[in-house]
Amino acid sequence: MLKPLLHFKVLDLSRILAGPFATQLLADLGAEVFKIEPPAGDPSRGWGPPFEYGEQGESAYFRCANRGKRSLVMDLADSDQRSRLVDLIKQADVLVENFLPESAEKLELTWDRLHAKHPKLILASIRGFASDVPASRRAGYDFIVQAESGWMSLTGEREGRPMKVGVALADVLAALYTANGIQAALLHRERTGEAIHVEVPLMEAALSGLVNVGAGTLMTGQSPERFGNGHPNIVPYQSFACADGEVAIGVGNDRQFEVLTLWLGLDLDAAPQWRQNRGRVLDRKRLIDWLEECFAQRTAADVLTFCEAHAIPASPVRTVDDVLFRQAGILHHLIKTLFDEETGGMVPVLASPILLNDERVCAKLPPPRWKSK
């Protein structure tokens, strides 16, 4: 397997998800990652169930973000332990942390202090809010950021309550931006010899994830509505309840819509505004009501068969266990199993979706087992 980041050493002082997920990606790409944990361990080790052995063992939460690392336990409140950390920093290329600003200052892990003593060290800091805004001292949690960033106002049924996304997606976005920023910093140092500070605020990672919705708000000055499973700019582009299950359909162009409506028995001459997406968006409710009535009279299999035959994007609405187990090898090859030397067993993980020379990158080491020191 290719290891583009081989020989780079990373110290991971981050906890929970965003930082660990970023350093896991670096490990997948070949970096040597040391996870520095406090005496009580990364808090996510206790976040469950599910745990590996019922009520005990490794948590799924910790497992999802820590493969490819070696764990070192350090009490950074202890001066001798901080001296040990300094020795590691001297050998490292990158240090990743997500402390509150005052904690980073107390531990002397700010950019100014580190850069003065270790000019070749790249520092990556994940914060709740950017260091140049009044909210900079606030802690950052995915759920809070989803509320603050407007994500929750966009998620859920039109008449329902605002809802968070089903996974900690703001953390995941911040992790991907952090890994990308670190790799850019490594390239910059290779070219110039200069180390730089990478900072990724969760809030701004979430705002960047607003993409077309954010662009639309900037363009119009108006807050967008919630559309449930619908799309603000494309119609029809949502799930429909068939006679025996839900089907997601994404009509990407006017020709696809015309083919679909011919099958469903709609005469577009009676509603010519629906021939173009613009008209369908403006007349959304009437069109969706009609489509829902049509799909309710057909089976999911009939709808999916027709859509596949006519190149209209569609899918059953799957459960997570269905897609991970029954669709493995059909829709994806993302599940990998890693050998755990401590237990002699195999650890299933979801690899990185990055393919290098047709091979998905995935560090060989399973997440480090907890050994209280």
Q: What is the CATH number of the domain that holds 91?
A: 3.40.50.10540
Task: Say which residues have a Cβ less than 8 Å from residue 43's Cβ, sequence separation at least 6.
Answer: 15, 16
For residue 114, give the nearest of 82, 78, 69, 75 by alpha carbon. Answer: 82
Task: Find the domain containing 303 and state its range.
Answer: 237-317
Token code pair at residue 217: 């708000």
Distance separating alpha carbons of residues 102 and 96, to the nearest angstrom: 16
Q: Of 87, 142, 171, 302, which residue is the catalytic one?
A: 171
- 136 domain-assigned: yes
Based on the residue annotation, tell me whether 340 is a catalytic residue of this protein: no
Kindly write down the DSSP assignment for every residue of 201-221, as one continuous string.
Answer: EHHHHHHHTTHHHHHHHHHH-
Query: Are residues 290 and 198 located together in one domain of the fold?
Result: no
Distance separating alpha carbons of residues 242 and 123, to the nearest angstrom: 52
- 277 domain-assigned: yes
Distance separating alpha carbons of residues 16 and 285, to the nearest angstrom: 42
Q: Which of 189, 209, 229 is a domain's end point?
A: 209
pLDDT at 74 (0 to 100): 96
Distance separating alpha carbons of residues 149 and 155, to the nearest angstrom: 12
Task: Say which residues have a Cβ less than 8 Å from residue 179's Cβ, sequence separation at least 6.
Answer: 22, 23, 25, 26
Distance separating alpha carbons of residues 171 and 202, to the nearest angstrom: 7
pLDDT at 137 (0 to 100): 93
Query: Are residues 112 and 159 located together in one domain of the fold?
Result: yes
Query: Are residues 254 and 188 located together in one domain of the fold?
Result: no
The SS3 of residue 72 is strand
* Beta-strand relationship, 94-97 and 9-12: parallel
pLDDT at 53 (0 to 100): 84
**Mean of pLDDT over the chain:** 96
- 42-69 tens-digit pLDDT: 999 999 999 998 777 899 999 999 999 9
- 367 domain-assigned: no
Query: Are residues 36 and 144 located together in one domain of the fold?
Result: yes
- 24 domain-assigned: yes
pLDDT at 55 (0 to 100): 77
Q: How many domains does the chain have?
A: 2
Give me the residues paired with residue 339 across strands. Answer: 346
Query: Are residues 195 and 267 located together in one domain of the fold?
Result: no
For residue 72, give the nearest of 42, 112, 102, 96 by alpha carbon. Answer: 42
Query: Are residues 246 and 166 located together in one domain of the fold?
Result: no
DSSP state of 59: E
Query: Are residues 120 and 82 located together in one domain of the fold?
Result: yes
Torsion angle defined by CA atoms of residues 234, 235, 237 and 243, in that order, rounded to the nearest 10 degrees? 180
Q: What is the mean pLDDT of each run of 10 residues along the chain (373 residues)?
A: 96 98 98 97 95 87 98 94 95 97 95 98 97 94 97 94 96 98 98 98 98 96 94 96 97 96 93 96 96 97 98 97 97 97 93 97 95 64
CB 250, CB 234: distance < 8 Å = yes
The amino acid at residue 96 is: V
Distance separating alpha carbons of residues 194 and 178, to the nearest angstrom: 18
Query: Are residues 163 and 274 located together in one domain of the fold?
Result: no
pLDDT at 314 (0 to 100): 98
- 86 domain-assigned: yes
The amino acid at residue 56 is: Q
Distance separating alpha carbons of residues 282 and 234, to the nearest angstrom: 10
Token code pair at residue 299: 């089976």
